[in-house]
Structure 1
């Protein structure tokens, strides 16, 4: 294949794709790769993407065919696509849809596109408990209770199952949007919110009722959930990461739908009230005392005839809830998230048990359309003083990340940034409580951590939203749903190693459009010459996929030594 430097990609035989960041067609290629690959690393000019079975199956569920993906790859690749990878890609993508679950009125059947495939499946010894009868040439009956774990096991073996068996209606519930919201204006969904709800309910692959909607933080994923609830009009269980998110869901439902306080229950560590619409935390579902043989809270799933389960921030779904979800396959399941990235590698469980990706919009498209704030991202390389540098060098490897994260010089850079953005509402976000408390005390700012009582959190959040506090110091509680619409600056002083999830969630805290039309600014403080630099590269991968650019600034004393671009 002749060399063609007018094309930005190098495709390798294992599904790895290298993208030239400096190429004129970079953005075009990055947008295409975002449909069926994930960014793995970005050490310099060449960004490394990987196509995996799960990224390709999600592409297939979104309507892509193997030939369409290959044609697009060929149009962007300097040396073409290796024949060995063409064969593998066709195998992965063409596998989607070859196995289907259906219901024929008598029960569930697994259908195979050809006899040989069904024989392969039924010869898997670990699946023997799923079958109800000897198989035919292309169909076999399965036990209803095997619907979830069968899909999970087959996906793990490279055999995705398209679930067309349908869902129970659940208990009916009189539910609709109000004519006007709390601001008195008529309630109208944004176009993409309506599209996302329709994609979940109907699906491009012909299935509807289970799957994941991916939208940026601040884009109104809660509205998509409410739109699905209003369309289905059934009793609904909503699972969320924390009690702050529970409060926000309840507030949105009461303000924007015809539901009353009597219709909505809250199931948390403090309150356990089950109603036709119940909002619960993941934590309470996974908590049990050591002496208990089983989790007493799992009964929540059977308390009512739920017609829909909403998994808010599905990328944070704990592993035990996956086990519960395997038993809930007859119930419609909607996952809402800003990113399908999971640091535990359980994307396959999300695909098999919640459903494939049904809808996604790039973050920068919503920024360009004004639905989320424009944002700049900067990584500030902070020097270490002699004492901290010596402690870092002599420390065991397991301790170095914390020493770098708590670099005392970062406090001075926080002061500089607060001076730079003196009139802008600012969040100072970090990992280590001693560091956060020290910075909060030195700046006379309040600090919010996981131990801060909910009423105190709410009081401080409200003061911040009213402009009475110019800045808040917050721990990892800011990684999750926190409603601070006017926050326009985030200063990240430490984080969880190379977590892409956390980077996306923290940027998301400042992406709500501002009344002032102000641009959002996201700063990450990284200790120069430490492993934090590499962890920062890893953390930024997802946002770089979305098209954000990181400017890197290194400092000597108070002066900027150099600036360079990273990303697009």
Structure 2
């Protein structure tokens, strides 16, 4: 029977002829007919004769066929559709393809973009090709040729430091230098030719050259010998995991890069290992003051650094030390910029690096350092400016999420979208006549969600729980209904920190959190997240909130609530798209209240 199913998949149809079965398995026609007749006698297969056409055969048990994974490539469109993908397949596809959408929670559609190949985490094309061939059902020469072309494009140009100290742009051929670089770049970026394959780079134009050539389809490798910076003796007081040591080694080899791994995989610890390997004064950039304080505490707890060696530079403190932790906003301000730029940093760490491309923070990408390190679980942006992350900071360095789940380093979450019905009073009196933005707010704050949250909390007993609410009015309503504090940006900093401390120390089991909880707050022992509302369809926000539960210990559960018949349905799907692309299954169910409403 397995051979019969293999033939069905090979020809991409639910029915086959005896000739097709024979061709697929290199059998004679009589051998194929005999095998099919035996299956028919055993009632596993049925046959149909259609006039003068050949006899066709199909499986009696359609369910078995329907439950099997089916991978269908469309090489001309560079798309792959996978029906009922296994976790292994989803994890492998995430290495070189981009998840576009999911239909009915079963059919996954991927697109292979040029930037996916440029950024694929492989040291050689052969290793990348091996992964592609593990996923696709058969060889795709046209697609493989395009992938190889994109792989080579990412290795055609490099920046290096001349022995006299200035920067040189180098191409692998005179044709590329003349027809690409010197056509795309102007006199403000290239000062003069040095040879047919080399050009003298204008000081300070390196970032714009990398961006321009990236847009032209040629990522630039940055091999400059930047200033080492003043030395700093840093040693880590714990052993790194195997994949973390691999991250450190790959970063040291490349000189720059972005660590990409799931929440809880220890990117901060690996960053400290990189600080140890670099051995130079370090600037750490973070989006919030809370995260600055957490970095300081972690450095004091995990390394030999003393409090006198660690400074914080933001709205609440102005300390410039061998290791300085600053907010992006402060470091990018004109009145502070010269101070940061004059320091000889051996390493700049960009935590939550997905912020760097924004107009407010991108100036920090121009600060000078020998090494640049980015950290992010979700280097994705809704404005599609992910490319700026890699041109301003460095190439991605990552590990398969699947491997970390299997090894128990990170807990794979159980994720569920739960659709809830409307509160009829609110629907009739407000939603039906509201404008588009008001409709989104009303759907987010649907009062039925309060009962649904109570139900979920009842299902999970004493689980440490974070409830996320994007709208202040909704957060206040949930706080009053559940008798649980609501933490928002309006809450005084001291009160906020006290509540988070109580949560960490098991003095509180439940908190309601606004967007202030999306980044920069360490909640290592949460094991249940309820997304009562979200920022549109932000993939990063959905992944970050789910990531609050993805620690090694305990049970990781995530519920996303969406009001039926509203844009929240689409938002919920999009929010979880990044998690799906990493091999995490997402269930979709209707709340029992939907059925109750139907009965009424």
TM-score, normalized by length of structure 2?
Answer: 0.83
Q: 2:555 aligns with which of 507, 519, 529?
A: 519
Q: 1:305 aligns with which of 315, 319, 344?
A: 344
Question: Structure 2: where are the runs of 5+ without partners?
Answer: 1-8, 14-68
Q: 2:239 aligns with which of 188, 213, 231?
A: 188
Answer whether contact 2:412 2:584 (CA < 8 A) is retained. no
Task: Summarize deviations over 1:540-568 as a string: whole Å, max 9, x none.
Answer: 11101111112222034386899xxxxxx
Aligned twin of 2:90: 30
Aligned twin of 2:223: 164
Answer whether contact 1:148 1:327 (CA < 8 A) is retained. yes
Aligned twin of 1:535: 571
Q: 2:307 aligns with which of 254, 261, 264?
A: 261
Residue 593 of structure 2 is aligned to residue 554 of structure 1: no
Equivalent runs, 1:309-328 vs 2, <5 Å: 309-320=348-359, 323-328=362-367
Which structure's relative contact order is higher, taking Cα pairs within 8 Å and 6+ residues apart?
A: 1
Q: 2:176 aligns with which of 97, 109, 117?
A: 117
Answer whether contact 2:181 2:213 (CA < 8 A) is retained. no
Task: Summarize deviations over 1:429-459 as a string: whole Å, max 9, x none.
Answer: 1100111011112221111111222221221
Aligned twin of 1:52: 113
Equivalent runs, 1:321-400 vs 2, <5 Å: 323-328=362-367, 330-358=369-397, 360-390=398-428, 391-400=430-439
Q: Which moved more, 1:317-326 or 1:304-313?
A: 317-326
Query: Given the superposition, is the C-alpha separation of residues 78 and 218 from structure 1 closer, same or farther in structure 2, using an over 3 Å criterion?
Result: closer
Aligned twin of 2:31: none
How far does residue 284 in structure 1 lie from its aligned partner after superposition? 3.0
How far does residue 401 in structure 1 lie from its aligned partner after superposition? 1.9
Aligned twin of 1:215: 261
Q: 2:187 aligns with which of 119, 123, 128?
A: 128
Q: 1:553 is paired with a residue of what secondary structure?
A: strand
Q: Which moved more, 1:127-136 or 1:444-453?
A: 127-136
Aligned twin of 2:473: 434
Task: Summarize deviations over 1:34-84 as a string: whole Å, max 9, x none.
Answer: 11111111123321111222111012x63242x66556545644575373x
Counterpart Cα distance in 2 of 1:481 and 1:327: 23
Aligned twin of 1:475: 514
Aligned twin of 1:404: 443
The alignment of Structure 1 onto Structure 2 pairs a total of residues equal to 532
Answer whether contact 1:236 1:307 (CA < 8 A) is retained. yes
Counterpart Cα distance in 2 of 1:362 and 1:388: 45
Task: Summarize deviations over 1:213-250 as a string: whole Å, max 9, x none.
Answer: 11111111110111111111111000112111111100
Counterpart Cα distance in 1 of 2:362 and 2:523: 34
How far does residue 148 in structure 1 lie from its aligned partner after superposition? 1.5
Equivalent runs, 1:64-213 vs 2, <5 Å: 64-65=124-125, 69=128, 73=132, 76-77=135-136, 81=140, 83=142, 85-106=143-164, 107-124=166-183, 126-178=185-237, 187-202=238-253, 208-213=254-259
Counterpart Cα distance in 2 of 1:404 and 1:64: 49
Answer whether contact 2:378 2:540 (CA < 8 A) is retained. yes
Answer whether contact 1:110 1:139 (CA < 8 A) is retained. yes
Query: Given the superposition, is the C-alpha separation of residues 395 and 144 from structure 1 closer, same or farther in structure 2, using an over 3 Å criterion?
Result: same
Q: 1:228 aligns with which of 274, 291, 316?
A: 274
TM-score, normalized by length of structure 1?
Answer: 0.88
Q: 1:132 is paired with a residue of what secondary structure?
A: strand
Aligned twin of 2:83: 20
Kindly name which structure, 1 or 2, has the bigger radius of gyration based on alpha carbons. 2
How far does residue 303 in structure 1 lie from its aligned partner after superposition? 4.2
Task: Summarize deviations over 1:284-329 as a string: whole Å, max 9, x none.
Answer: 345x6xxxxxx32323422421110000111233524664245346
Aligned twin of 1:566: none
Question: Structure 1: where are the runs of 5+ without partners?
Answer: 179-186, 203-207, 289-294, 563-568
Query: Given the superposition, is the C-alpha separation of residues 561 and 41 from structure 1 closer, same or farther in structure 2, using an over 3 Å criterion?
Result: farther
Answer whether contact 1:446 1:473 (CA < 8 A) is retained. yes
Aligned twin of 2:11: 3
